[in-house]
Structure 1
């Protein structure tokens, strides 16, 4: 999950955050020129497109930053392919000073190839009377590894993505009172919905990462956070034959063979099934915390977004997914210093509140505002005592797209059984690791 992050209309707040004053004071507002007298500027390739709510928050921050520091920010609003463009650019002289993206995409693009810069300067930058690093909740850093080989942070996160089982609380007030907490309770709910002649689960089958989220979460539910990553790291592939892994695959098979998934999901084109769910043609959807902003423009009148955590299995692991979206700086950046200053600048409460209220995402700052649509997910994150990442942090080059997600589609589409799946993964993974550089 996490391939689609977008939003809908919003309005800008008018309060001016103290962070700008601190930055201005730190530079005496005179640091806008280099020693040669030329204007200072840096280049930012953004994952957002013009008009998206996150882009509008960032555009506000850019305007404020330029006014308060005199440093020009040359932004290219490239959209989700910004990191695809970055990878070949790293071998040229046309390298941006700042990029942003989800953790799972930044790792293979920059970190795995050791082309990311340590961002100690950004973490030490004063923001709202604190340092930027102290504004990032330590509980997430226990799971999300953003330290490079030298122990320096390579990422400055500005929002958190999670996932949940979404539903319309106006249609299902009983779920708000008593949501299913275990897998058996979840299946019982699906059976009741099906018995009533309704469709239990919507799924956009062409988004392979969404499909794999069921299995990856179930493996984490059975093995605990880090379990799937340990399985995927096994160079022999035999870890896929673990009974707990087979049990997770059988639960996916149960969803497929039980007829709980919406008709046509195998051949759907995103966001067709998502639209059907938002219009009451399916009752539940397991998806990311971006789902309300993505679907708001076509949701049925009176649709009330609500969610509950993915159910636990008999193993009892109940971690919540938590991933970072944030900034990274390539090693070849010409102006890494100013790029880091801007990365820290976005942690100012003015912009974090705007991310929560207007962009309707989950800000990284614990004290930032959130929207009503995010209330259930934010509450679950606040109450969780452990966390896991998308794909449990598995981000080996090509592994998800070419191996795990591709093979999972065969299971999710009912083409192979759970037993066939784990045995095929064992062989395919052994080949994958054999082909990787030592």
Structure 2
């Protein structure tokens, strides 16, 4: 799943639903077909004046997510009388379409994308308006504040520099180590790094090394556990580069990353995505560290191959290394924003509240096999372990790559971090040399930025 920054991250969330675990309140996910024939829920918030809104979407109309959103828009029109015009623009539209439009009078009322890209492209250009008032709007079954856990609405990742909410999430993505339960009987999640290394065994980890942030995940996962949420992005933005060397956790993380590299399958850095991921699906590797779209992509691959092969997906998180004090879990959210120049902000915000109604938002797991921020929605069975980890109150949420890939509009990761990380994994740099290179290259990078 190749991407530009985090935008294409959501591209892979495009598959039919998987079997779901029952929720405690006995709400069951509908089948994908039944979802689109279910009666539209009532709207808890109806615009007093706006009778239309324009929505620019990161999805295409034929993707499962796009179909769910189109259905929700049609229901919103039916229940409120507000006409919703949607432009399906794809993953790169924030910079290609929305950012250039901010200085014109032609902007959408509503838009969506992942938090990293919204902050880097639109919030930084002062193109959004505060969304705190949305929290007190009524969905069809409670207020937005009621249905969104604090972990997804009261976090620095979703607030601007003034502490104001700039977006409201509707999809949650995480990452994890994936394995086939059928092939690892009696599995026990590793509690230490030594237990992880013993579990991984010999050349058992699949990695499509041509995807920069896939390869970067090992170091950033470990480093975040040493330095805490925001620590990597802080080091990346240090104009002297010396934070990489003065914080000992970065060297420790590099040492563990170098050890993980010894477990990578042969050819991990010679293939073209998704060849190595497919080797994992075929059973040539036991473990795959991947985002929550991993089951979707590999299931689709096996279905196309035929032969009836399947995977019973299980997942687990990195253990906390010795000396690390931050039990983190990476999370990325796909969220709605409202533009600063929106002509119909009331309708846009009302639609956000409406879509978070359980019966509507259920389309994301039921149709698109995606996680949502609502804790009362059943979870696709292949994502149950990951959802439990995301909702573990002992874990601190941090952005994918700790937001490092949003630094300097993604240029820092592409020019500085990814090349150094690849050389660490290939054994071309020792852990100490890797840290030294980050320090030197970071300082040089910021000198060129003016």
Q: What TM-score bracket applies, with the shorter chain setting the length?
A: 0.7 to 0.9
Counting matched residue pairs gives 415
Q: Is the 8 A contact 1:118 1:153 kept in 2?
A: yes
- C-alpha contact (below 8 Å) 1:5/1:294 kept by paired residues: yes
- The correspondence for 2:205, drawn from 201, 205, 221, is 201
Q: Residue in 1 aligned with 2:135?
A: 123
Which of 36, 40, 45 aligns to 1:23? It is 45
Counterpart-to-counterpart distance in 2, 1:169 and 1:144: 36
After superposition, the Cα gap between the structure-2 partners of 1:294 and 1:77, relative to the gap in structure 1 and judged at 3 Å, is farther
Check conservation: 2:176, 2:315, Cα contact below 8 A.
yes
Question: How far does residue 92 in structure 1 lie from its aligned partner after superposition?
Answer: 3.5
CA RMSD of aligned residues (A): 2.3
Matches within 5 A, 1:2-401: 3=9, 4-10=11-17, 11-12=32-33, 13=35, 14-16=37-39, 18=41, 20-24=42-46, 27=48, 31=49, 40-85=51-96, 86-175=98-187, 178-191=188-201, 194=202, 199-241=203-245, 242-256=247-261, 258=262, 260-299=263-302, 301-316=309-324, 317-385=326-394, 386-394=396-404, 395-397=406-408, 398-401=411-414
Residues 209 and 270, structure 2, Cα contact 8 Å, conserved in 1: yes
Alpha-carbon deviation of 1:129? 4.2
Distance (whole Å) between structure 2 residues aligned to residue 425 and residue 403 of structure 1: 7
Alpha carbons 1:144, 1:389 under 8 Å: kept: no
Deviations 1:29-48 (A, max 9, x none): xx5xx6xxxxx432222111
Q: CA deviation at 1:144?
A: 4.1
In 2, are the aligned partners of 1:144 and 1:323 still within 8 Å (CA)? no
Alpha-carbon distance change, 214 to 262 in structure 1, aligned in 2, over 3 angstroms: same
CA deviation profile, 1:15-35 (whole Å, cap 9, x unmatched): 4464x34235x65xxx5xx6x
Question: Aligned partners of 2:230 and 2:132: how far apart in 1?
Answer: 26
Question: How far apart in 2 are the matches of 1:231 and 1:150?
Answer: 22
Contact 1:201 1:283 in 2 (8 A): yes
Deviations 1:172-230 (A, max 9, x none): 1222xx12222111111122xx2xxxx41111112111111111111012223333233
| Residues 318-371 of structure 1: per-residue CA shift (max 9 Å, x gap) | 222222111112223332222222222221101222212332221111112211
Scaled by the length of structure 2, the TM-score of the pair is: 0.85
Per-residue CA shift, 1:300-332, capped at 9, x if unaligned? 623111101122211243222222111112223
Between the aligned partners of 1:301 and 1:310, the Cα distance in structure 2 is 28
Which ranges of structure 1 fall in alignment gaps of 5 or more residues? 35-39
SS at match of 2:351: helix
Distance 1:140 1:129, change over 3 A: closer
Shift of 1:428: 1.9
Give the aligned partner of residue 37 of structure 1. none
Name the structure 2 match of 1:402: 415
Q: CA deviation at 1:151?
A: 3.2
- Contact kept, 8 Å, 1:235 with 1:429, in 2: the verdict is yes
Deviations 1:71-114 (A, max 9, x none): 22221222211223222333344322222111111111111222
Q: Distance in 1 between matches of 2:382 and 2:288?
A: 15
Q: Matched residues in 1 for 2:175 and 2:159: separation?
A: 24
Following superposition, the deviation at residue 131 of structure 1 comes to 2.0
Instruction: Check whether the contact 1:222–1:314 (CA below 8 A) recurs between aligned residues.
Output: no
Deviation at 1:414, TM superposition (A): 3.2
Aligned partners of 1:48 and 1:55 also within 8 Å:
yes
In the alignment, is the contact (CA less than 8 A) between 2:168 and 2:335 conserved in 1?
yes
